[in-house]
Structure formats: structure tokens, C-alpha cells
Amino acid sequence: MAELGEIAQVHYCGRLDDGREFESSIRAGEPLEVRLGSGRLLPAVERVICEMNPRERRTVRLVPDQAFGPYDESLVITVPADRLPSASAMPVGEFVEVKTDAGTLRAKVVSVDDRAVVLDCNHELAGQAVTFDIELLAVIHESAISRELHPAGCACGCDKLKEQIG
């Protein structure tokens, strides 16, 4: 079984309830290699992987709260067109990245006119249940020395103890 902090190699396929596939490592041509607990995967998917043995396959369906969150109408915002460079050229129906004081924001362009741009800042899969077919190919067990070199710190937890003491 895999544990948080270890590297898992997985093949996965994510699809919506209507059967449409939105992501697949098989289609991408190579398995995903991910450090469990790094935040790259949905927490519910990581929990499933941590319960699996190598070569095991599972299918898990996640409701919106477990996946990409509920759809939030308050995340549909109207921005004055003069505050966005090239607002008139923004592609309606497409996703764009907008730089803000808080960082880069990915949003779907809902509409554009001379006065305003309407942006939907919800995740594109917000409000939808998703199903993942997961196959755990392998767990890469690192030595304690290798794990200590990882930015998260020592695998034994001594770095956290040093923080508490020091």
C-alpha cells in the first residue's frame, strides 16, 4: 500500500456522468507519477490510492463536494472592459488567464461587450460528479536519505520536532 509522501505511479481516466472523458493518463501515453500528499490530486483520489496495492484497479465516483466543488454563482464576475487589456478580443466560451493582485486567475469568458466582460471563475468541472478509474502500477519507496532531500523535509518528522523545539 502507498503512504502519503511516497511516489505512486498510476494510470487513471476521469469521466463525467454522461461518459465524456475529461482526462486520461492512458490517452496521454504515460502513467502519472505523483508524490502522495503533494496536492496534485484530489484528496479523495489520494485516499483511494493509499488503500490500494500495486496492480490493483478501482473505480471511484466523487460528488461535487469531493471533486471540484459546487458551482458558485458568486464566482461569475463582471469586469469593466477598460480594466482588461484587449477585452474586445477575448474569446467567448474559452478559458483565459487574467493577472490579478492575488495572482493568476483562470476564468471562462461568458460574454464581452464595449462596457464589460463577464468571467466565470468556477473550475470548469464545478458542480459535477466525476468518476475515476484508477490503476496503481507501482509505489516507489524511497530511502530515508532520499526523502530527507525532498522540500517537504525529513521523512521521520525530526524537522518538525526541531521547529517546535527551536
Identify the three-state secondary structure at position 40.
Answer: coil
What is the pLDDT, as a whole number, of residue 165?
41
Which segments of the chain belong to CATH 3.10.50.40?
Answer: 7-68+126-158
Contact 14, 22 (CB under 8 A): yes
pLDDT band at 47 (very low <50, low <70, confident <90, very high): very high
List pLDDT tens digits, range 133-163.
Answer: 999 999 987 666 555 655 555 555 555 444 5
Identify the three-state secondary structure at position 25.
Answer: helix
Output the average pLDDT for the chain.
87
| CATH placement of domain 7-68+126-158 | 3.10.50.40
Contact 16, 22 (CB under 8 A): yes
What is the pLDDT, as a whole number, of residue 163?
53
pTM for the full model? Answer: 0.75
Average pLDDT of the segment spanning 2-21: 93
Which segments of the chain belong to CATH 2.40.10.330?
Answer: 73-120
Average pLDDT of the segment spanning 27-46: 92
Least confident range of 5-19, 43-57, 64-78, 146-160: 146-160
The C-alpha atoms of residue 56 and residue 51 are separated, in whole angstroms, by: 10
What is the pLDDT, as a whole number, of residue 148?
60
| Domain 73-120 in CATH 3.90.105.10 | no
Residue holding cell 525529513? 154
| CA separation, residue 150 to residues 7, 40, 67, 139, 158 (Å) | 12, 16, 28, 17, 14
